[in-house]
Amino acid sequence: MAIQLQQVSYTYADRSLWKQTALHDINLNILKGSMVGIAGATGSGKSTLLQLFNGILKPSEGTVSVLDVTIRAGEKSPKLLPLRRRVGLVFQFPEQQMFEETVEKDLMFGPLNFGMSPEEAKLRARQAMTDMGLDLSLLERNPFRLSGGQMRKAAIASVLAMDPDIVVLDEPTATLDPVSRAELISLLERLCREQGRTIYHRNPPDGRAAALCRSLGAAEGRADCLSGGRAGACCRS
């Protein structure tokens, strides 16, 4: 199992008057090498759920198990650095994850941070750019001088450069044109089918992505399995 949530709830500002329970009693099993999409109304808890997968958020109640790491509410978390390399999270707003002065430095940051040599990190950065269909000339560019779509692709590339086992993407196709959107969905499908990676993404509720993956629905902080979709097409379960 790649990701397992048992009776997980999450409350923001738990000890304040403004506390806000975003997730209620979620039970979820995601198999290794599967592609799962989540759809749901705004504010239903999709981004909150995603951030539990690499330990950015800790459950207020229940247990989150990701690969070989278990995080239990009320207990001290285990070391999360190795998990952060193995679970790549692409944020809803790409500017939240670009912070270096060039795209290349941003793409090399993760690999260098996790102990790769500068040469290998450079190669990873170039490969991830190519995978995302981005011109290598953009490597020298300041990330904040890219277009919205280019920045989103660069943010995804910065996660792919770390070679994660699980790729978690929050609204990956927002701001992308229809061609880039289709290319990204094909790439995710390839990562899943050919490389056995687990892909978890917030996909548009219609379109090809929805047809390809097992879909979960989120409503008011409750995630339920809505349909099997065409799971067999891309899920190795």
Contact residues for ligand ATP (CB under 6 A)? Answer: 12-13, 20, 22, 40, 42-48, 92
Structure-block tokens of residue 133: 């269909």
Between strands 3-12 and 20-30, the pairing is antiparallel
Q: How far is the CB of 44 from ligand ATP (least distance, A)?
A: 4
**Residue 47 vs 215, nearer CB to Mg ion:** 47
Q: What is the 3-state secondary structure (H, E, C) of 158-175?
A: HHHCCCCCEEEECCCCCC
Q: Which two tokens stand for residue 151?
A: 């920045």
Whole-angstrom Cα distance, residue 52 to residue 45?
A: 11
84 C-beta neighbours (distance < 10 Å), count: 18
Which partner from the list ligand ATP, Mg ion, none does 42 bind, CB cut-off 5 to 8 Å by kind? Answer: ligand ATP
Closer of 163 and 171 to Mg ion (Cβ): 171
Binds 48: which of ligand ATP, Mg ion, none (CB < 5-8 Å by kind): ligand ATP
Which of ligand ATP, Mg ion, none binds 11 (CB below 5-8 Å, type-dependent)? none
CB of residue 151 to ligand ATP, shortest distance in Å: 18
With CB under 5 to 8 Å by kind, the binding choice for 45 among Mg ion, ligand ATP, none is ligand ATP
Name the DSSP class of 117. -
Q: Give the residue with the Cβ less far from ligand ATP, 123 or 210.
A: 210
Q: Does residue number 47 form part of the binding site for Mg ion (CB under 5 A)?
A: yes
Strand order from edge to edge, sheet including 69-72: 20-30, 3-12, 61-66, 69-72
The Cα–Cα gap between 179 and 171 comes to: 16
Q: Which is nearer to Mg ion, 26 or 103 (CB)?
A: 26
Which residue number, 33 or 40, has a Cβ lying nearer to ligand ATP? 40
Give, as one character, the DSSP assignment of residue 10.
E
Are 159 and 88 spatial neighbours (Cβ–Cβ below 8 Å)?
yes
Nearer to ligand ATP, 110 or 221 (CB): 221
Site string for Mg ion, 70-99 (x = CB under 5 A): ----------------------x-------
Q: Under the criterion CB under 5 A, does residue 173 sit at the interface with Mg ion?
A: no
- The least distance separating ligand ATP from the CB of residue 116, rounded to whole angstroms, comes to 32
Residue nearest to Mg ion (CB): 47
Which residues contact Mg ion by CB under 5 A? 47, 92
